[in-house]
Structure 1
Amino acid sequence: MGWKRLAAVAAVSGLALLTAPATATAVGVKGIGHNASGLQPNATAGSEWHGSYVWQEKHVWCVQYALPAPDSTVGYQEGAELLTKAGKSLTPDVAANISYLLLRYSTTKSPDEAAALAHLLHSWTSVPDGAVRLDTTDPKYLAYDEAFYAARLPKQVMDTAARMKADAEANRGPWKLSATAPKEPLIIGTESTWTAALVKANGQGVPKASISFTLTDAKLADGSTSGKATTGADGAPAAVKVVPTGPKPSIAVTADSPADRPVVHQPIQTENMQRMVTTGGEKKLDAAANAQARTAPGAVRITKIDSETKKSIAGVALRVTAKDQTSPALKQDDSLLVGTDGKPLVLQTGADGTVEVPGLRTPQEICLVEAAAPKGYEEFFDPKAPPSACGTVAAGQTLALELVNKPNKPVVPSTIPAGTEGRTPVATASFDTQLRPGLMLAVGGLVLLGAALAGFLVWRRQ
């Protein structure tokens, strides 16, 4: 829709008209446009011209049909809102149409568009109304004969006027600008799509409109924090790819919009001269959107290991806690990581002796505390100071922890186990024997006495 012309509107349409007269060019110098092939009854000379005029080297657009064209030796000052020649307010639709056309076409280089714009301006502002008539000879009250000039302007001018009028009715203001942050949770450092919409009075989007934006706590992929986006050819919202760099990313957007009502510039030294119309300072619309962003979630993975065999231990119950080993850890959305009992979540190691906890808030110090001793490891388990492993979970990272369990002491048997396979079990034991001298003499005497007694009995028998 040629929105790049918006920036040039002020310079061309006379926002700097509040000046003293500059070096005169001439009275009523024609700019861009066409002459009609005839002059309506009672009109003054030059009224057949349809297009812009040159005032102090600027192209301007005039209302108050039939009055003399602007004189560069005459200064102009900004007035109030544009009224009809009869001094009445324009209807909202007509005012919006004029504001849009001035915003869209006031910098045109096309003679057809310039003539069509002048025709539309006069047909809306100098309609017959009360003292403003077609049959008067007073230029201050002479109405514009729309049908007369429509029949005498080139056909392409009238075709262009119809196109421009339809354009105005389809795209006129007031426009509304809005910005929208993504609905999904935002992750710092991860790109997301924000949108900016420019909507017309009929509720449809303005096509190919330029929207400027500035980012806070965020950037574009190339590192810049400002730029311009364009709405779609169908008026769809402009999309901006934003990478949050902090916890509170936001976008501020601005766009040009037609003024609700156009204003005029009036001659300072005389009333007997056409007024010059401008956009009235097209409105600057602004809007903003903000969101909350978090660091990327992290995870913790712990492995339970036998201190002697170095093998993993399955089925170990572990409680996931915060740094204090008592309160629950936090999930990515800042909710508490608890079980159905409302207490810190308890998980069990799998067959490979590991367990992983994903979706954790980062950065955060996490502890995994043994909730109960696994079978075969009860002897060294202290419920008042259970084994634990702690560490800090970083954004987008998995914290690897290891928790070692010491097995119970082996039990030494007091007897040797019985034999097998039909053999008679034999129990053995070892003794440590020490003989004292006195005891040895007593034993020797008893041996000698026994031998003598045995000899005596043999002698008696013989």
Structure 2
Amino acid sequence: MRMVRKWVAAALGTALLAGAGAFAVPGAALASVQEGVGHEVTPGQPYGGVNRDRDWLGSYMLQGQHVWCVQFALTAPDSGQEYQPGDPLGTKWGEPLAPEIAANISYLLLRYGDTQSDHEAAALAHLLHSWTAAPRPGQDDLNPGNSFTEIAYDIDFHFDKLPAEAKEAVERLRAEAEANRGPWEAELTAPEGEQTIGETAEWTLAVTRAEDQGVGDVPVRITATDAEVAGLTDGVATTPADGSPLVLEVTPTGPNPTITGELAAPADRPYVRQAVDAPDTTQRVVSTGGEQQLTVEATTTAVTAPGQVRITKVDEQSQARISGVALRLSLPDGSPALRQDGTPLVGPDGEPAVLTTGADGTAVIPDLKTPQEVMITEVSPAPGYEEAFDPANPPSVTGVLEPGQTLELVVSNVPNTPTVPIRIPAGDEPGVNLGLLGLGGMALAGAVAVGGYALRRPERQR
């Protein structure tokens, strides 16, 4: 499906004219009329007894806008016209348009109203005339003697004179209008469950037509609150060409991420704006009526990323890690700490949870709500550390959990004072005592001998 990059803006600025055939009335004041994009058809369709040189199939420029004529052979538009609201667009013969034809016109004006392709512009003008000024069954509406107000648009006459590319565009635009005409519906869906601030999740935006068929290449203006949306171009995202839902990569930045989408969709039918001056001879001006604004919105809640706490139990003197120590996790006031989902972290007894350090002297508690201040308190001392443990004031440490971070806490213990046993022999143990004495005597004798040796040396020198 063709994509029109400026579709939303153009749809609001495109006008529709009830009347075509800028050269229908000899002598009409045409100086102010400027042809836009399209093709001329030569020769033109004769009527009023006159053989005409050309017809124009395309847009006109009126008050700076591209406008389109839908009822063949009326006087050209006058750029000095003023506009006022009118009735739903009908045929040249004053009959209501069939609902599907009105929807086709709305779609094509919305999608191709600002086309810069001569072939597409000629195809669009041809289809508009074919749908609003076609000959009526049983009527002599193609009689060349009919006046410009009575002549019907000769569909085959004009189609045969179009270039091959314009003929192809006629069939393509007709098929596209029938496949994608309104009414459309739009739906924006947020992911299920609570979102996490700073973590990207996928939201989906679907634009559908009849029988829930997706519509592709639809520009949607996106507005985000408490969130950022990736991949936008000047705030606009476009549905995939195959009509599948548009996937938005949304990263929450606050507690209530909200996404709003605005798009132009084809209305059921276009509505006329009558010209104030000479409405019976000058072309009537109509707004496209081809668009209606659809707005969709979805919102959810988001929380900060969870944190975790890692507790390490160490010997205060050696810094060796201590395993098998029971520690209680709570808030500083003694109430339970909170999990990421807001529920209290408690043990089977309903009290704040107790954990035990592993073989490496550590314990880890994940998925905790952030930010929150937590406290680790020793429940009972490890063997070898009972002496310094005060049940009324057990070792504890506090810290604040931050989003997505690990809080490292260390609890130290003073080891018990070591004791060295003193052994006093009871009774005589001759073998041992004599042995000790003998060794002592030997040490003493040795010392004397050495001392004597040291004293005698000076005497020899004399």
Counterparts in 2 of 1:237 and 1:67: CA distance versus 1, 3 Å: same
Match in the other structure for 1:305 = 314
Match in the other structure for 1:432 = none
What is the alpha-carbon distance in structure 2 between the residues aligned to residue 207 and residue 199 of structure 1? 9
Contact residue 37 and residue 153 of structure 1 kept, 8 A: no
* Secondary structure class of the residue paired with 1:197: strand
Q: CA deviation at 1:221?
A: 7.0
The alignment status of 1:97 with 2:120, answered yes or no, reads no
The alignment status of 1:35 with 2:41, answered yes or no, reads yes
Contact residue 302 and residue 402 of structure 1 kept, 8 A: yes
Match in the other structure for 2:31 = 26
Match in the other structure for 1:289 = 298
* Secondary structure class of the residue paired with 1:359: strand
1:378-415, Cα deviation, whole Å (9 max, x unpaired): 45444444332221111222212122234456678797
Give 2:177's match in structure 1, choosing from 168, 175, 199. 168
Counterparts in 2 of 1:225 and 1:337: CA distance versus 1, 3 Å: farther
Contact residue 189 and residue 243 of structure 1 kept, 8 A: yes
Q: CA deviation at 1:351?
A: 1.1
Q: How does 1:241-280 map to 2 (within 5 A)?
A: 241-270=249-278, 271-280=280-289
What is the alpha-carbon distance in structure 2 between the residues aligned to residue 162 and residue 313 of structure 1? 82
Structure 1 stretches of 5 or more lacking a match? 16-23, 426-462
Give 2:124's match in structure 1, choosing from 117, 127, 134. 117
Give 1:181's match in structure 2, choosing from 175, 182, 190. 190
* Secondary structure class of the residue paired with 1:4: coil
1:220-273, Cα deviation, whole Å (9 max, x unpaired): 579x99722222232334444433222222222222222332122222223234
What is the alpha-carbon distance in structure 2 between the residues aligned to residue 104 and residue 225 of structure 1? 19
Percent sequence identity is: 48
Q: CA deviation at 1:350?
A: 0.6
Match in the other structure for 2:378 = 370
Match in the other structure for 1:20 = none
What is the alpha-carbon distance in structure 2 between the residues aligned to residue 158 and residue 225 of structure 1? 34
* Secondary structure class of the residue paired with 2:5: helix
Q: CA deviation at 1:366?
A: 0.8
Contact residue 119 and residue 166 of structure 2 kept, 8 A: yes
Number of equivalenced pairs: 414
Q: Which amino acid aligns with 1:35?
A: V
What is the alpha-carbon distance in structure 2 between the residues aligned to residue 317 and residue 156 of structure 1? 83
Contact residue 64 and residue 140 of structure 1 kept, 8 A: no
Q: How does 1:309-320 map to 2 (within 5 A)?
A: 309-320=318-329
Match in the other structure for 1:442 = none
The alignment status of 1:196 with 2:202, answered yes or no, reads no
What is the alpha-carbon distance in structure 1 between the residues aligned to residue 360 and residue 142 of structure 2? 103
Match in the other structure for 1:8 = 10
Match in the other structure for 1:448 = none
Q: CA deviation at 1:365?
A: 0.8
What is the alpha-carbon distance in structure 2 between the residues aligned to residue 112 and residue 310 of structure 1? 84
Contact residue 71 and residue 133 of structure 2 kept, 8 A: yes
Q: CA deviation at 1:67?
A: 3.1
Which moved further from structure 2: 29-38 or 390-399? 29-38
TM-score, reference length from structure 2: 0.76
Q: Which amino acid aligns with 1:186?
A: Q
What is the alpha-carbon distance in structure 2 between the residues aligned to residue 131 and residue 76 of structure 1? 35
What is the alpha-carbon distance in structure 2 between the residues aligned to residue 353 and residue 280 of structure 1? 75
The alignment status of 1:108 with 2:115, answered yes or no, reads yes
* Secondary structure class of the residue paired with 2:243: coil
What is the alpha-carbon distance in structure 2 between the residues aligned to residue 129 and residue 221 of structure 1? 54
Q: How does 1:49-448 map to 2 (within 5 A)?
A: 49-55=56-62, 58-72=65-79, 74-127=81-134, 134=141, 137=146, 140=149, 142-147=151-156, 149-151=158-160, 153=162, 156-183=165-192, 185-219=194-228, 227-270=235-278, 271-280=280-289, 282-325=291-334, 327-408=335-416
* Secondary structure class of the residue paired with 1:272: coil
What is the alpha-carbon distance in structure 2 between the residues aligned to residue 172 and residue 334 of structure 1? 48
What is the alpha-carbon distance in structure 2 between the residues aligned to residue 275 and residue 44 of structure 1? 24
Counterparts in 2 of 1:132 and 1:404: CA distance versus 1, 3 Å: farther
Contact residue 25 and residue 72 of structure 1 kept, 8 A: no
Counterparts in 2 of 1:358 and 1:54: CA distance versus 1, 3 Å: closer
Counterparts in 2 of 1:308 and 1:55: CA distance versus 1, 3 Å: closer
What is the alpha-carbon distance in structure 2 between the residues aligned to residue 305 and residue 29 of structure 1? 89
Bigger CA radius of gyration: 1
